[in-house]
Structure 1
Amino acid sequence: MYVGIDVGTSMVKAAVFDASGRQVAVESRPVALDIRDGFVEQDMDEVYAAVVEVLATLASGLTGPVELAGLTGQGDGVWLVDAQGRPVRPAISWMDGRAHELLDAWMASDVFGSVFRRTGSAMFPGCPGPVLAWLDRHEPKALDAATTALYCKDMVFQRLTGVRATDVSDASMPFLDPRTRTYDDETLARLGLSHRSGLLAPVADPVAVGETRGPGLPPGTRIADGPYDLPACALGAGVTRPGDGLLIVGTCLASLVATDVLDLEGGEPAGLHISTDRRGQWLRAMPAMVGTAALDWVLRTTGVRHEEVDALLDATPPGANGVRVLPYFAPSGERAPFVEPRLRAELTGVSLETTRGDLVRATCEGIAFAARHCLEAAGLTGDLAVCGGGTRSPAWLRLFADVLGRPLRVVEGEVGARGAVLAAAARFGVDLDVAEWTRPTAVVEPDSGRAEFYTRGYAAHLARLGEARGRARAEAAGGRAGAGAGAGWAGGAG
């Protein structure tokens, strides 16, 4: 038996696979997000307890010994712990927006662009650079009390094994030089964090390993830490050939393209270059802030149940009867394929004749347009795999195929957990049939007529987005000017 653990933003999951890659069992537990005034935090003890609970439940039903376990989880944010791996304060989520004013200032200077050219990572409010800089200014005692500023899965790994480490994928945002695969001192200096460099965990290349000390899995179980959820899903979906891509329709709408070319000079600074377990290969990632979370908000607001989505999509025509959604719902704005901390969602074309189906379809179309934008920016040229909770809707999958104008290789099950197992197997020298483990379960083909219709819709989406970005930049400039004049607008919870 092989166990994969995926510590997600709102759900902790653990899955058991047999030697052929067949998923034989899965356990999950929800974990809470504390969202208030632009702050988004999580209770580390609650997250760790959920991990232990799902592992203990799985272990009690195993029919054979555990060969190894792999760990993955949400990226970014800051998880401050002491020497024993215990929390110093609540974890700050990747969805957090408290550092947006700081990022505004960096974007108005040369800091933002210069960090991207050095690391290949475009910072956003919830990534460790801005969050640590914000804490250094507003909560220095929390940093003084901490031993390590970890990422989510690394916190869990230290509690399970006692090993303090991160991996090259998590370290990619935003402190790692992707050429040397080591922390970049110049980046730390530009962010004003040189005096906090000791908080960064040692980088295991490619992943750290240890043995569990309990509870959860049997003591002594071999376990590997990483990569984090985006590259783990790429491994679990078999996306390793340059040009091939993966779309993850989850809480975060993530677009990844495998590449063996590292270009840090061209194009708009956005997304990131994730270092992988294979030297000389990266994932060009465009992880948009909001995917299924945007649809969930619309469903809650309209009173539509998840099981009604497919019927509403089938009953509503492409174009949603003129309703349009720019799906930028995150409190911290957007980070891919551009960075606009003040960008917000927009709903237009609504009248008294608008139906719930129009609102749902317009939201699904807006998210699909955002996915196309991200995949084009990431350089997709080959096959495209798709996974995530959104793939449970057949009608939405067909819509994605039509908007993207290409076939979708659907990979079902706990893809991140599967990728974590494959990374652990490679690290421990266990030979698994990767092709069999990553075989797609279905292929969804686009409809040529609808694809042509959505090509025109995509152009209109980009035009509306350009106007919205202009308004967001004007607001940011006005906020900086007001602050300079002593207006005192802190913005959010700053």
Structure 2
Amino acid sequence: MARYIGIDAGTSMVKAAAFDERGQVLRVESRPVALSLQSGRAEQDMDEVYGAVTAVLSALAAAVEGPFALIGLTGQGDGVWLVDESGRPVRAAVSWMDGRAGELVDAWQSAGVVERVFRRSGSAMFPGCPGPVLAWLDQHEPAVLDTAAAAVYCKDMVFQRLTGIRATDVSDASMPFLDPRTRTYDDEVLRELGLAHRRGLLPPVSDPIAVGTLGADSPLAGTPVTGGPYDLPACALGAGVTEAGDGLLIVGTCLASLVSVREVDLAGEPAGLHISTDRPGHWLRAMPAMVGTAALDWVLRTTGVSHSEVDGLLDATPPGSRGVRVLPYFAPSGERAPFVEPRLRAELTGVSLETTTADLVRATCEGIGFAARHCLEAAGLTGSLAICGGGTRSPAWMRLFAEVLGRPLRIVEGEVGARGAVLASAARQGVALDVAAWTAPTAVVEPDPARAEFYTKAYDDHLQRLAAARDRARAT
């Protein structure tokens, strides 16, 4: 019986999952990877990331009996991963969480560059996306760019070192250089960003996704492997979000909201992005807020609470957290969806000597829920909603999400990104899999009507407080 492997090179963890023909997880191997955060800068060691990929792949091959029909590769998006001809690093990777280009994005917003780029690409830039990062490096580290062969993305670096093939796919290329209608690089966008002279650094776009084979030094040498899509569209595939109007909420380090669409709307507010997929005529309208579980992690660390206590704390205080409110914009680079505000920071209000740890935790979870609702509404959600990510391990938080969003949630657990990478790989190579079985939800959570009504009013208050906070950020 054939086996399938999905590899997901995430921001803090690299995982490899083995699946059977029905999409059941047989085994998962994982390795943590470090993210260096200092003075608004976020970088990663490419060799460490690649070493983690080879380690989890080798461990999985040793633990699960084959044969393995294929491997699908996905990973974190955005940032800039500068490599030489062989795919080795020429400097540390600049993460999507990096904020060094914040002032540059501010200047582009004031000059109308951000809006003009959005009208062409359907993607609004934020400090950690490739356009601003490359422009910052061009100003401050031009010699490094001169020595680089390509500015790729995480999965592309891994794919080249596994197979020897340099390529990206339409999903990663969507931010912000790709014209979503022609599915090719837009030279006018490069000119707008002052990067026309760096066009040669952009990797070739493989459409559909590239296929290679693992090299002779791999324990699975000769196994076909595909490069892409990146983690957001891979999760959409893994959760079965393909029909127009249906959506996906990923409650992970990044709080990502995705809605399947059949047209590109370049007329709205410049925010989020349109992710091209392997299916022409189909896009994902994405509103990936900068911080999801990372905001809750910060609160838990600060209060000395463990993750295992979250469910009990959420049940220990009522909706509204006894007046405590959290605007969950904790990222050092501000926010990117459903608006771009590089200087926006988190706010905690309504605290007194009577405030409990449960109030703080619930208020944070509520604030993240409000941010998700804002993103999903901006993305145009009209159909069903699936939810995945590390946050799904908390049943109480899932109930809270259903109430804040005012709709049922299809819970999709397991290695959703790796699952989507396998489905993309199978479709690319003509391997027939039962997609409905692979993407079936593990549970459905219904909202409590009374609490949903309460949160509809509380959401309006959240939007008012957010508007005031944005005014303060812009005045800074």
Deviation at 1:64, TM superposition (A): 1.8
Correspondence for 2:140: 138
1:166 correspondence with 2:192:
no
Correspondence for 1:25: 27
Q: Which blocks of at least 5 consecutive residues in structure 1 are unaligned?
A: 476-494
1: CA distance, partners of 2:361 / 2:217: 43
Find the residue that maps to 1:467 and give its secondary structure.
helix
Deviation at 1:394, TM superposition (A): 0.2
Correspondence for 2:242: 240
Correspondence for 2:281: 280
Residue 166 of structure 1 contacts residue 201 of structure 1 at CA under 8 Å; is this kept in 2?
A: yes
Deviates more, 1:217-226 or 1:332-341: 217-226
Structure 1 outlier segments of 4+, above 2 Å: 214-217
Q: Deviations over 1:261-313 (max 9, x none)?
A: 21101x21000000011100100000000000000000000000000000000
Note the 1:450-461 alignment, pairs <5 A: 450-461=451-462
Q: Deviations over 1:115-161 (max 9, x none)?
A: 00000000000000000000000000110110000100000000100
Q: Which blocks of at least 5 consecutive residues in structure 2 are unaligned?
A: none
Correspondence for 1:463: 464
Find the residue that maps to 1:242 and give its secondary structure.
coil
1: CA distance, partners of 2:264 / 2:172: 18
Correspondence for 1:210: 212
Note the 1:89-104 alignment, pairs <5 A: 89-104=91-106
Deviation at 1:214, TM superposition (A): 4.9
2:48 aligns with one of 38, 46, 50: 46
1:110 aligns with one of 109, 112, 137: 112
Deviation at 1:217, TM superposition (A): 4.5
**TM-score normalised to the size of structure 2?**
0.99
Q: Deviations over 1:60-97 (max 9, x none)?
A: 01212110000000000000000010000000000000
Residue 75 of structure 1 contacts residue 94 of structure 1 at CA under 8 Å; is this kept in 2?
A: yes
Note the 1:190-339 alignment, pairs <5 A: 190-265=192-267, 267-339=268-340
Change (3 A) 1:335 1:23: same
Deviation at 1:456, TM superposition (A): 0.7
Correspondence for 2:63: 61
Deviation at 1:38, TM superposition (A): 0.5
1:72 correspondence with 2:59:
no
The one-letter code of the counterpart of 1:81 is: V
2: CA distance, partners of 1:154 / 1:295: 30
2: CA distance, partners of 1:17 / 1:214: 23
Note the 1:424-435 alignment, pairs <5 A: 424-435=425-436
Find the residue that maps to 2:465 and give its secondary structure.
helix
Correspondence for 2:391: 390
2: CA distance, partners of 1:262 / 1:321: 42
Q: Percent of aligned pairs with the same residue?
A: 77
Q: Deviations over 1:196-221 (max 9, x none)?
A: 00000000012111001154441111
Correspondence for 2:445: 444
Note the 1:390-409 alignment, pairs <5 A: 390-409=391-410
Q: How many residues align?
A: 474
Note the 1:330-369 alignment, pairs <5 A: 330-369=331-370
Residue 160 of structure 1 contacts residue 214 of structure 1 at CA under 8 Å; is this kept in 2?
A: no
1: CA distance, partners of 2:279 / 2:436: 17
Q: Deviations over 1:202-253 (max 9, x none)?
A: 0001211100115444111100000000000000000000000000000000
Residue 232 of structure 1 contacts residue 416 of structure 1 at CA under 8 Å; is this kept in 2?
A: yes
Change (3 A) 1:217 1:288: farther
1: CA distance, partners of 2:38 / 2:112: 31
1: CA distance, partners of 2:17 / 2:118: 36
1: CA distance, partners of 2:208 / 2:408: 32
